[in-house]
Amino acid sequence: MAAAVRAAECGVRVGIVDDNPALGGQIWRGESESGKSSEAAQWRRRLQAVNVTTFCGMKVFHQPEAGVLLAEANDDLFELRYRNLILATGARERFLPFPGWTLPNVMGAGGLQAMVKSGLPIRGKRVVVAGTGPLLLAVAAYLRKHGAKIPIICEQASWSSLARFGMALIGQPKKIFQGMQLKKDLSGVPFVANSWPLAAHGAKTLESVTVSRVGKNETIACDYLACGFHLVPNIELPILLGCQIRCGYVQVDDFQQTTVPGVFCAGEPTSIGGVESALVEGQIAGLAAGGRKEEARKLFAEREKTKQFAHVLDRTFRLRHELRSLASPETIVCRCEDVTHSRLQEFTSWRAAKLHTRCGMGPCQGRICGPATQFLFKWNPDSVRPPIFPARVENLAAFAVGSNVESSATVGGSR
Amino acid sequence: MSSQLTVTVNGAPVSVPSGATVAVAVAIAGQTFRTSVTGEPRAALCAMGICYECRVTINGMLHCRSCQILCEPGMDVKTDA
């Protein structure tokens, strides 16, 4: 949104292509429309003041040639042509397999929050929150505010790394304020470090969760387990377009331009830094794509600050090695194809496992099990092939058919 | 999200707040979203269009990510559970 606004304010033609039903990414989730988050509402107003074409519920799945993207919305095929492209594909939660994690009502922490934001009733429900990352606290506070009971929040990071995290926030008053607010919202809820989920139990749906609570096992009855192990960037589209990846993130220059000329990238795919980071990077990318590099330069200092926060996040919420032994031999690792941990142990690479077990070859195309196997077995997914999302056969076959959208700058992604 | 609307999940009417996703309707109906290749019941996991665990049939269209689609009055949703 920030990128589109800034680019459009430069006078270029801009279109936004968003996979989600509403603008605002995973954090704002269309809240800007109902005016709940003042910053979101502010960007929404700026967006309304400029001439931007918005396509929601549209997923990009292929690049047949440079400067052209194919996308699908409601079964229809769209061909998108651009001069400059800003990728803002966001991040997803990292999931780690443990016994019972495939049971209904075991959800991502952000996932459950998204469902509640979309109307799922949560009042009176017991929700165990577990995993790692600042999202756990934000989600717990949000769910509690909406009437959920939170028996425990389990954070796998150690108290010492959390303490260092707190220290590193000094000099970022906004973050400290957010932290204090969360502390207030969660008063009375046990938050335990050095703790993680061991198993989810239930016949057809979740009934209870066993956690390792500072070295002791404890089983807690609950209706939901909100569980995520921080975030992984959505870099499939950047890889498809040929953008260079460094240490798991899209490599960009000072102006957020990737190694592919005319293709920019902003937000989580360049480093997991949260909404502030995404906003400033999006603005820099938008201004640069709109030809106002000098104006973009003024935002470099602000971006530097968000980058530091991203480094601190990375350090604090690094996964501990004990989490590698959560899965039992029978635990499913690839949920699309039901491939178990013991089956995967027979192989030494992602490619070999894929070829022999279909791991990572289901509809999610390894987006869930890929990051898990990367952590469990140190495998690296080797390539991305079109279509990067499942697409209708008729749309794969009929490239040239569909409506034609021409823009001088197109913003793609989900933020 | 003040007003309600009604969709059909596996033949039964379900009332949801306007603005709700189809995934929310399926969850309110208490239905399993899909059955895995080895027969396990599954439900929405990521709720942001990545994991495909919430896929259902909407108005006859197969494999729709229910978490990415908003409910419309009279929508016919079928799960494969």
> Tens digits of per-residue pLDDT, A67-109?
999 999 988 999 999 999 999 999 999 999 999 999 999 999 9
Q: Is B45 within 8 Å of chain A by CB?
A: yes
* CATH number 3.50.50.60 is the correct assignment for the domain at A95-229: yes
Q: Mark which residues 289-348 of A lie under 8 Å from B by CB.
A: 332, 335-338
One fold for both A2-90+233-314+401-413 and A95-229? Answer: yes
Instruction: Examine the pLDDT at A160 and tell me if it is beyond 60.
Output: yes
Answer whether CATH 3.60.15.10 is correct for domain A2-90+233-314+401-413. no
Contact A131, A211 (CB under 8 A): no
Whether the ω angle into residue A99 lies within 30 degrees of 0, i.e. cis, is no
Q: What is the pLDDT of residues A162-214, one digit of tens each?
A: 999 999 888 888 888 999 999 999 999 999 999 999 999 999 999 999 999 99
Per-residue pLDDT of A273-308, as tens digits, reads 999 999 999 999 999 999 999 999 999 999 999 999
Tell me if the bond preceding A387 is cis, omega within 30° of 0.
Answer: yes
Residue B7 has pLDDT above 90, yes or no: yes
Domains along chain B with CATH numbers: 4-78 (3.10.20.440)
Residue B17 touches partner A, C-beta closer than 8 Å? yes
A-B Cβ pairs (cutoff 8 Å, strict): 115
For residues A75 and A312, give the distance between their C-alpha atoms in angstroms, rounded to a whole number: 42
Does residue B32 sit at the A interface (CB-CB below 8 Å)? yes
> Is the CB of residue A16 less than 8 Å from the CB of residue A293?
no
Q: How far is CA B15 from the centre of its chain?
A: 13
Whose CA is closest to A133, among A232, A262, A208, A260? A232
Residues of chain A positioned with their CB less than 8 A from the CB of B54:
none
Looking at residue A394, its pLDDT comes to 86
Least confident of A263-272, A340-349, A378-387: A378-387
Does the CB of A234 have a partner CB in chain B at under 8 Å?
Answer: yes
Q: What residue segments make up the domains of chain A, in order of their start?
A: 2-90+233-314+401-413, 95-229, 327-377
Beta-bridge partners for A179: none
Q: Does A190 touch chain B (CB under 8 A)?
A: no
Is pLDDT of A330 > 50?
yes
Contact A188, A204 (CB under 8 A): no
User: Is the predicted pLDDT of residue A158 greater than 80, yes or no?
Assistant: yes
- Mean pLDDT of the residues in chain A: 93
B64 touches chain A (CB under 8 A): no
pTM: 0.94
Residues of A in contact with B17 (CB under 8 A): 119
Contact A21 B44 (CB under 8 A): no
Q: Does A364 touch chain B (CB under 8 A)?
A: yes
Query: What is this model's ipTM?
Result: 0.97
Substitution target in A34, A56, A118 with the highest count of B β-carbons within 10 Å is A118
**Between A119, A338, A364, which is nearest B51 by CB?**
A364
Hey, is the C-beta of B27 within 8 angstroms of any chain A C-beta?
Answer: yes
| First-residue to last-residue Cα distance in chain A | 6
pLDDT at A396: 85
Residues A226-253 have pLDDT tens digits of 999 999 999 999 999 999 999 999 999 9
- Establish if A271 touches chain B: CB-CB under 8 angstroms: no
CB < 8 Å to B1, chain A = 119
Interface of A with B in 19-48 (CB under 8 A): 19-21, 26, 30
